[in-house]
């Protein structure tokens, strides 16, 4: 048990140190040696957790996407009224954005690797397709329950995902240019306004 | 006159070749020599037009942003009814997106350089701030003319720019994953729906 906890802790320390190095020096310029020094772990410990630098990078991405998907599942189970689900999702987006502020190099690295390597693409771009399917299902459900108009679910889902991705990129690049504090929630609300039925708007 | 035309032509050829090299090999890995070979121009001709590779890169960005800003100015002069202005802007966005398909490495390079170099930041990120001001003014105007609701102009403008940036990034990364054909127009329309007055919606 103590051993397992220590192992989880070491893995987290390696990931934390790697993120820092990637942000400061970029993915390409960072070596496994440097990550080990920054994390204060042996190379043996590193390779016990990750077969390669790329494997670490993909694990980092997967952790992040998995966390997001888990919150969407939880939101879906907890909340039935679809406009409220999207509002809760906007709260979650707000947290992502707070973490993203100033982290542009990391996000750009994710996307850049995705253009060069199919595995990285699968981990960093393919999830958008899953998010779109989840949102499209929610939108259909909203239409059935009378909270959302009969908008095209695929178009509306693609719009929501693009808005989310755009906000992440903007906040990552421009964290000092604008007070992003309430903008994500307000942006999602604005978009929902166009999709909501009169009934849903009255219930606000 | 003939000399001037040739000079413009050479400049365009250098930029065209550079874009191709940047997309294939990345900005860092591309040398001035390689651009000259690809463009079939002498190094003297290159340096006549651009003092450095970075200057070429910034010129490329500036050309692109300037073109976008000019279309916004033209749209503003031609069209008074603000919701229609945004619809025209969505048409323009559609053209940008058609060019952006598969060009993720180039866009990511723009943004990546921006995180490292203040001059590149000024050329690739700062324009978003100008676009936001333009849209905020349009939204205020729309409110005065009775076509748009009294939404917060800064929030709505930030939402529109984030949606645009997100669509560019998504199409650049995922040009094969989804038929983006009508999505940008539909996305802007969906957002406008939430902002438009009943009068503007009836006039559709």
CB proximity A111 to B under 8 Å: yes
Q: State the maximum Cα–Cα separation within chain A, in Å, rounded to a whole number.
A: 61
**Highest-scoring range by mean pLDDT, A37-46, A83-92, A191-200:** A37-46
Q: What is the pLDDT of residues A19-64, one digit of tens each?
A: 888 878 877 789 999 999 999 999 999 999 999 998 998 888 888 8
Query: In terms of Cα–Cα distance, which of B160, B83, B93 is closest to A187?
Result: B160
Q: Are residues A28 and A94 in the same domain?
A: no
Residue A55 domain-assigned? no
Q: Could you tell me the CATH number of the domain that includes residue B101? A: 1.10.357.10
What is the C-alpha separation between B67 and B196, in angstroms, rounded?
A: 28
How many structural domains comprise chain A? 2
Boundary (domain end) residue, out of A30, A50, A70? A50
Q: So what's the pLDDT on residue B1?
A: 65
Q: So what's the pLDDT on residue A28?
A: 79
Residue A104 domain-assigned? yes
Residue A175 domain-assigned? yes
CB proximity B186 to A under 8 Å: yes
Q: Are residues A108 and A185 in the same domain?
A: yes
Q: So what's the pLDDT on residue B125?
A: 83
Query: In terms of Cα–Cα distance, which of A118, A193, A188, A125 is closest to A159?
Result: A188
* Paired residues of B196 in beta bridges: B148
Q: Does residue A178 or residue A188 have the better pLDDT?
A: A188
CB B196 within 8 A of CB B156: no
B174: chain A residues, CB-CB within 8 Å: 125, 128-129
Q: So what's the pLDDT on residue B98?
A: 80
Residue A142 domain-assigned? yes
B167: chain A residues, CB-CB within 8 Å: 162, 166
B182: chain A residues, CB-CB within 8 Å: 155
Quick check: A75 pLDDT over 90? yes
Q: Are residues A104 and A183 in the same domain?
A: yes
Q: Are residues A39 and A106 in the same domain?
A: no
Q: Are residues A108 and A133 in the same domain?
A: yes
Residue A42 domain-assigned? yes
CB proximity B156 to A under 8 Å: yes
Burial class of residue B85, CB neighbours in 10 A (0-12, 13-18, 19+): buried
- Tell me which chain A residue has its CA closest to the CA of residue B170: A162
What is the C-alpha separation between A164 and A90, in angstroms, rounded?
A: 9
CB proximity A105 to B under 8 Å: yes
B108: chain A residues, CB-CB within 8 Å: 108, 111-112, 115
Q: Are residues B10 and B104 in the same domain?
A: no
The continuous run of DSSP H or E covering A13 comes out as helix A2-25
Nearest to A104 among B111, B155, B193 (CB): B111
Q: Are residues A75 and A7 in the same domain?
A: no
Place of tokens 């299902």: A137
Q: So what's the pLDDT on residue A161?
A: 92
Helix then strand count (H, E) for chain A reads 11, 0
Which residues span the domain enclosing A5? 1-50
Residue A37 domain-assigned? yes
A77 pLDDT band, cuts 50/70/90, is very high
Contact criterion met (CB < 8 Å) for A193 and B194: yes
Q: What is the ipTM of this complex?
A: 0.84
Q: What is the pLDDT of residues A143-166, one digit of tens each?
A: 999 999 888 899 999 999 999 999
Q: Are residues A153 and A76 in the same domain?
A: yes
DSSP 8-state symbol, B177: T
CB proximity A23 to B under 8 Å: no
What is the C-alpha separation between B52 and A46, in angstroms, rounded?
A: 42
Non-local CB neighbours of A153 within 8 Å, separated by 6+ positions: A135, A136, A137, A139, A140, A143
Query: In terms of Cα–Cα distance, which of B113, B195, B106 is closest to B155?
Result: B195
Place of tokens 């003092």: B51
Q: Are residues B98 and B155 in the same domain?
A: yes
Q: Are residues B35 and B117 in the same domain?
A: no
Q: So what's the pLDDT on residue A46?
A: 96
Q: Are residues A127 and A164 in the same domain?
A: yes
CB A112 within 8 A of CB B108: yes
What is the C-alpha separation between A196 and B34, in angstroms, rounded?
A: 54
Q: Are residues A22 and A103 in the same domain?
A: no
Q: So what's the pLDDT on residue A15?
A: 92
Q: So what's the pLDDT on residue B96?
A: 82
Give the best residue of B117, B130, B190 to mutate against chain A (max A CB count within 10 A): B190
pLDDT along chain B (204 residues), means of 10: 82 91 82 95 95 89 87 94 92 83 78 83 85 94 91 91 90 72 84 78 66
CB A138 within 8 A of CB A154: no
B163: chain A residues, CB-CB within 8 Å: 159, 162-163, 166
CB proximity A166 to B under 8 Å: yes
Average pLDDT over residues A4-33: 88
B164 vs A23, A51, A169, B91, B183, CA distance in Å?
26, 39, 11, 12, 11
What is the C-alpha separation between A191 and A184, in angstroms, rounded?
A: 11
Q: What is the pTM of this model?
A: 0.85
A110-136 CB burial, b ≥16 within 10 A, e <16 = bbbbbbeeeebbebbbebbeebbebbb
A176 pLDDT band, cuts 50/70/90, is low
CB proximity B174 to A under 8 Å: yes
Q: How far does Cα A197 stand from its chain's mean position?
A: 29
Q: Could you tell me the CATH number of the domain that includes residue A5? A: 1.10.10.60
Average pLDDT over residues A77-100: 89
Nearest to A165 among B156, B169, B177 (CB): B169
Residue A165 domain-assigned? yes
B114: chain A residues, CB-CB within 8 Å: 104, 173
DSSP 8-state symbol, B103: -
């Amino acid at each position: 048990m103590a051993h397992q906890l220590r192992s989880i802790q070491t893995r987290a320390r390696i990931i934390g140190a790697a993120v820092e190095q990637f942000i400061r020096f970029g993915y390409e310029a960072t070596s496994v040696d440097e990550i080990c020094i920054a994390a204060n772990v042996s190379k043996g410990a590193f390779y016990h957790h990750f077969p390669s630098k790329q494997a670490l990078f993909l694990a980092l991405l997967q952790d992040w996407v998995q966390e997001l998907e888990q919150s969407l599942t939880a939101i879906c189970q907890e909340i039935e009224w679809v406009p409220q689900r999207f509002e809760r999702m906007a709260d979650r987006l707000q947290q992502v954005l707070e973490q993203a502020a100033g982290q542009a190099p990391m996000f750009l690295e994710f996307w850049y690797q995705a253009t060069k390597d199919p595995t990285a693409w699968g981990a960093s771009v393919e999830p958008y397709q899953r998010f779109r399917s989840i949102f499209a299902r929610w939108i259909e459900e909203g239409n059935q329950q009378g909270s959302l108009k009969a908008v095209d679910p695929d178009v509306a889902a693609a719009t929501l995902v693009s808005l989310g991705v755009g906000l992440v990129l903007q906040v990552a690049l421009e964290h000092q240019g604008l007070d992003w504090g309430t903008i994500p929630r307000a942006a999602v609300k604005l978009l929902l306004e166009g999709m909501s039925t009169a009934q849903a708007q009255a219930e606000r």
